[in-house]
Structure 1
Amino acid sequence: MIQGTEQQDIAVKGSTRPKPVKKILMAGVVGGLLWLSWQWLFAGGAQASLVIPRQQVQIGTVSRGDFVRDLAVQGKVVAANAPTLFSQQAGQIRLLKQPGEPVTLGDLLAVIDSPTLENEVKQQQALLASMTSEIERATLQAREQQLDMEQVQNTAQINRQAAKRELARAKQSLQLGVLRQLDLDIANDKMTQSELEFAHAKRKVQLALDKLAFEQKSGQQALERQQLVVAELNRKLAALQIKAPVTGQVGNWLVEQQNHVLEGQGLLTVIDLSQYEAELSVPENYAAELAAGLAVEVSLNGQMLQGALSHVAPEVKEGQVSARVRFQSQDAASLRQNQRLSGRIIFEQKTNVLKVARGDFISSGGGRQAYRLIDNIATKTPVELGAVSVQWVEVLAGLSEGDQLVISNLSEFKDQPQVRLN
């Protein structure tokens, strides 16, 4: 038979404290803790319905002072004058200068071989010489005809003088009674005929002169047209000699050596090292505010350069507008083509305005409301904001100088009227 453990057990007497008293004491302790928590969270009568750790938000102080509305942009250094040279005629290219090689104005950079153009020039030059000879021959023929007409005029003049003398003798003979009236009438007719022949000869000579002048003028016009054709071909032939338009250095080859190029095809670039500009990329939503003359500050290699917008591109590419900045003064030796830089475009400057640091509260609050901080209680306050710069935002109404404002994102505040910052 297995024995139990009754002999090893020790009897324990129960507590004599009434159980209701213990429960009352525990309830009092819990109530006290709750009252202390309520006093800690909602002291001062503030009825905040949401608590957010203070380190999760950013606080800014409203101040009064100068306000500059600006825009931070990125860009690069570019040569103010970097022309691209194009082919004027199809042919085979021979590049004579390497990229980066220094060149002087007028240096020969490349040559395009175009046998077709050279042959056409020779043909038109031969045609010009032939036309010159033909005009000279036509001029000689016209002068020969003019001489023939002048000879006819001289003969008619002599005949007129002879008829005039014959008429005079006939009149004298009629007065002496040795000549009939019929013979006098015949002399008058011959005189009239000679007058008509002489007048006709004079008109023919004048017509020959006019014809000669016309032929000369027409021939000269045809010759001038042909001279223009030859001059244009010679210009195209000379344009096959690609020369440096500025003093600087060769940029990049746009074609390969000994390639066949087409008319109007880009060949190479030449960079003028004497003057640089900055090319900035500006978001398209600021394009309407860009204008020539706006002040620009450019930060490059730890130095600040002052400049102004010289011109703005009329088109938008990939959401950006290109703008050029002309420096007021610069050290050309410290600048390099395509060197990266950062800039600040100054749109306007104001004095004695209320401002607060820029933050995400602008977009998250719609620019119409903000949370003003008083004794760790952030109260939703309607505000009116003005211009926005890189660092500041202008305050038009709703706040006073010295007010503290939550400038971080307001989405965590859940549009509550009051929020305690713990």
Structure 2
Amino acid sequence: MIKGTEQQDVRIEKAHKTPVLKLVVAFGAISSLLWGSYQLIFSTSANAALVLARSEVQLATVSRGDFVRDLAVQGKVVAANAPTLVSQQDGLVRFIKQPGEAVTIGDLLAVVESPSLENEVKQQQALLLSMQSEHERAKLLAREQQLDMRQIESSARVNLQAAKRELARAEQSMQLGVMRQIDLDIARDKLAQTELEYNHAKAKVALAADKLSFEQKSGEQGLARQALVVAELERKLAALQIKAPVTGQVGNWLATQQTQVLTGQGLLTVIDLSQYEAELSVPENYAAELSPGLPVEVTLNGQKLSGQLSHVAAEVKDSNVTARVRFADQDAKALRQNQRVSGRIVFDERKDVLRVARGEFVASGGGRIGYRLEQDIAVRTPIELGALSVQWVEILAGAKEGEQLVISSLSEFKDAERVRLN
């Protein structure tokens, strides 16, 4: 039998038409959804020129409380007394103590050998001895001359006395009539002559004494000058023996063992371990506010040490000013030279101050513009900021306690008056 095509055929049912009412309802629902979205997006932000994600913005609440105006800086631990020893003369250096070795005051650390200085010292010492011998010889000669002058004076005195006796005899003889007048006159002239000779001898003796005193003083002055020269050279020679000025430890060698060094060249440092200080680098725009006595808190390996500024450098270097901190109480064993530290300098402390957490809005807003949160809208608001600290910013005007301000960078706000935060 031949089969038919009945089983290959598929019966197709006639589709029912969708009622018009259902189409109208669906269109109305879609229109309502679109309108609601429009109202949600556009009507609520009709006055907002920009929309930002709320997660990208950092907010903080304005509050009242204590305000400490401080500054966070970095620095290092330095020895309060760490002198650098230098060479007083050109020569060959020979180190005795090694870096890090403990020393006490007066210990020999190094020797600078200078043959030229040693030779000059010996020459000047020999010259001093020669001058001393010449001075003694001059004194002996002067005393000898003075003795000769005194002998002449004594002879003149004897002649004077003889002339006086001769005149007395002549006068007696004249009274007795046994001597002529001319002989009496001769006796008187001789007496006058011997008086002149005697006075001249006395003057020469006095002059010889003055000359002896002058030459002696001049010789002593020359000896004193030469003694100063010798003393200075001996001091320089002794200074080539480099000794520890403090008790502590040797720092670093600033020259190589057995090398030629120049006058004034640094040789090594000695660190006084009994007292440490912190050396902080402060930005130069705070230099005018730095003064000795300001309280400082230094953090080192999680340990906080209190202190105060001891002195501030008078010069600016690399846009920073160096300030030294003297610790009020410290454990010297816990500190090491050149350890890195963090410091907090306290400039001012105030009570009941309107404040907000510090953020990037200070720099990006120039301290004059801020954004205050009103529901989901950040409103551009003129503000006036006061003092700044590490944690807080003082608000002088433009915000009230309890309000929220944007404290993150305001560059994304593009100076818009109103910004919606989703």
Same fold (TM > 0.5): yes
Q: Do the aligned partners of 1:277 and 1:326 also contact (CA within 8 Å) in 2?
A: yes
Q: Which residue does 2:243 correspond to in 1?
A: 243
Deviation at 1:51, TM superposition (A): 1.6
Q: Do the aligned partners of 1:42 and 1:48 also contact (CA within 8 Å) in 2?
A: no
* CA distance in 1 between partners of 2:18 and 2:336 (Å): 96
* CA distance in 2 between partners of 1:321 and 1:267 (Å): 28
Deviation at 1:23, TM superposition (A): 9.7
Percentage identity across paired residues of the two chains: 70
Deviation at 1:44, TM superposition (A): 7.1
Q: Which residue does 1:150 correspond to in 2?
A: 150
SS at match of 1:89: coil
Q: Which residue does 1:186 correspond to in 2?
A: 186
* CA distance in 2 between partners of 1:11 and 1:30 (Å): 31
Q: Do the aligned partners of 1:46 and 1:377 also contact (CA within 8 Å) in 2?
A: no
Q: How does 1:271-290 map to 2 (within 5 A)?
A: 271-290=271-290
Q: Which residue does 1:68 correspond to in 2?
A: 68
Number of corresponding residues: 412
* CA distance in 2 between partners of 1:303 and 1:382 (Å): 42
Tell me if 1:206 matches 2:232: no
Tell me if 1:47 matches 2:47: yes
Give a deviation string over 1:347-403, Cα, whole Å, max 9, x none: 111111111111111111111111111212211111110111111111111211111
Gaps (5+ residues) in structure 2? 1-9
Given the superposition, is the C-alpha separation of residues 51 and 183 from structure 1 closer, same or farther in structure 2, using an over 3 Å criterion?
same
Aligned residue identity for 1:106: G
* CA distance in 1 between partners of 2:142 and 2:151 (Å): 14
Deviation at 1:297, TM superposition (A): 0.3
* CA distance in 2 between partners of 1:280 and 1:45 (Å): 51
Deviation at 1:136, TM superposition (A): 0.3
* CA distance in 2 between partners of 1:201 and 1:29 (Å): 152
* CA distance in 1 between partners of 2:237 and 2:132 (Å): 23
* CA distance in 2 between partners of 1:248 and 1:421 (Å): 63
Given the superposition, is the C-alpha separation of residues 133 and 243 from structure 1 closer, same or farther in structure 2, using an over 3 Å criterion?
same
Give a deviation string over 1:259-297, Cα, whole Å, max 9, x none: 111111111111111111111111222222221111110
SS at match of 1:348: strand
SS at match of 1:128: helix
Q: How does 1:190-339 map to 2 (within 5 A)?
A: 190-339=190-339
Moved more, 160-169 or 69-78: 160-169
Q: Normalised by the size of structure 1, how large is the TM-score?
A: 0.92
Q: Which residue does 1:136 correspond to in 2?
A: 136
Moved more, 209-218 or 166-175: 166-175
SS at match of 2:315: strand
Q: Which residue does 1:111 correspond to in 2?
A: 111
SS at match of 2:88: coil
Q: Which residue does 1:159 correspond to in 2?
A: 159
Q: Which residue does 1:94 correspond to in 2?
A: 94
Deviation at 1:421, TM superposition (A): 1.2
Aligned residue identity for 2:165: R
Q: Which residue does 2:340 correspond to in 1?
A: 340
* CA distance in 2 between partners of 1:288 and 1:31 (Å): 68
Give a deviation string over 1:125-167, Cα, whole Å, max 9, x none: 1111111100000000000000000011111111111111222
Moved more, 154-163 or 314-323: 314-323
SS at match of 2:385: strand
Tell me if 1:172 matches 2:172: yes
Aligned residue identity for 1:123: Q
SS at match of 1:363: helix
* CA distance in 1 between partners of 2:337 and 2:385 (Å): 41
Q: Do the aligned partners of 2:45 and 2:420 also contact (CA within 8 Å) in 1?
A: no
Q: Do the aligned partners of 1:85 and 1:267 also contact (CA within 8 Å) in 2?
A: yes
Deviation at 1:15, TM superposition (A): 7.3
Aligned residue identity for 1:403: E
* CA distance in 1 between partners of 2:188 and 2:24 (Å): 172
* CA distance in 1 between partners of 2:387 and 2:170 (Å): 119
Moved more, 42-51 or 95-104: 42-51
* CA distance in 2 between partners of 1:15 and 1:44 (Å): 42
* CA distance in 1 between partners of 2:18 and 2:270 (Å): 107
Deviation at 1:171, TM superposition (A): 2.2
Aligned residue identity for 2:278: A
Q: Do the aligned partners of 1:377 and 1:418 also contact (CA within 8 Å) in 2?
A: yes
Gaps (5+ residues) in structure 1? 1-7
